[in-house]
Amino acid sequence: MTTGMFFALILVGIVTGVVSGILGIGGGIIMVPAMVYLLGFSQQQSVATSLAIMLPPVSIFAVINYYKAGFVDVKAALIIMFAFMLGSYISSKIAIGLPEHIVKKCFAVLLFAVGIKMMFFDK
């Protein structure tokens, strides 16, 4: 790994951490595109690396702050966590076999749809 790549990875991590702490997003919206377009990772490699980053408790400090302020619904978080685990397991089996351009297009459609909804249809 080159020094440049090392610092690029640190920059992606810091930017993602800041955006995640403020907006609750990061892995899919910041890290995956950064790894694809800035670092030259494949779509599947970027998704897998983003998921690997979430294995340790990377957001524990942000969660503690939000919990102390009364914003964390622990029961809902646990239910979603287990459903997320099941869904990510099943979908990863599918995504591994898909061509990269299909995975990229699916990702782009999701981001576009969410952006349109937030821009024009939220109160």
Global pTM exceeds 0.75: no
Would you say 27 and 51 are in contact if contact means Cβ atoms under 8 Å apart? yes
Q: Which of 59, 76, 47, 74 is nearest to 16 (CA)?
A: 59
pLDDT reported for residue 7 = 93
* Ramachandran quadrant class, 35 (left: phi over 0; alpha: psi -120 to 50; beta: rest): alpha
| pLDDT classification of 122: cutoffs 50, 70, 90 | confident
| Residue 120 one-letter amino acid | F
Tokens of 4: 């440049």
- Between 72 and 25, the higher pLDDT residue: 72
Longest dimension (CA), the chain: 47
Query: What is the average pLDDT score of the chain?
Result: 87
Decide if pLDDT at 110 tops 90.
no
pLDDT reported for residue 59 = 81
The tens digit of pLDDT for each residue in 99-109 reads 999 988 988 88
Q: How many CB atoms lie within 10 A of CB 67?
A: 13
